Amino acid sequence: MLIFKALHILSMFSAVALLIGEEVFIALAIWRRDVRGLAAIHRLSGRRVLTYAGAITFMAGIVFGLLTAATGDLDFFSGWLIAAYVLVAAILVLNGSPLVQKQVLPLMEEAVEAEAGQRPVEEVVRHMAGSPVVIVIAVNVVLFAAIILDMVLKPF
């Protein structure tokens, strides 16, 4: 049904904007070793409220996508849909992994503490330098780009 397709597209565009937008700024701050910038992102996003809003809209987009397939003339086992399922699973596994969950928020909280003078800035910079967060975010951006291309081009 057309309404489910429209809701799927709106949900997914919103999810990508919320999730990737925030992640790109986090990655830039970490890559540049910008403790004040990372602290500002944390303050502005309100303890990752954007991440939670993005995750909710992403899950809604998945539901609307499945409803679109179920109510339309789409084959659930088309190659492009199977590729989409794999990419969505990869996004969920990556973002739900302990590596991501135990790295991003603590690093942002350390930056806030450093900005408030409660922790040495050099310590946070060392943690930024040793953090795999920038690589994880780059992989996440590639996965989202791949799913967008898969949905638009339907290559399989």
How is the chain split into domains, by residue range? 2-153
d(CA 42, CA 112): 8
- Asked whether residue 62 carries a pLDDT value surpassing 90, the answer given is yes
The better pLDDT of the pair 132, 50 is held by 132
The pLDDT assigned to 77 comes to: 93
pLDDT band at 49 (very low <50, low <70, confident <90, very high): confident
Are the CB atoms for 44 and 148 separated by under 8 Å?
A: no
d(CA 81, CA 6): 17
- Asked whether residue 50 carries a pLDDT value surpassing 90, the answer given is no
pLDDT band at 122 (very low <50, low <70, confident <90, very high): very high
pTM: 0.85
- Taken as a whole, the chain contains a residue count of 156
The pLDDT assigned to 104 comes to: 84
Q: What is the pLDDT of residues 69-106, one digit of tens each?
A: 999 888 999 999 999 999 999 999 998 888 777 888 88
7-21 b/e (C-beta count within 10 Å ≥ 16 → b): bbeebbebbbebbbe
The pLDDT assigned to 51 comes to: 81
Are the CB atoms for 31 and 134 separated by under 8 Å?
A: yes
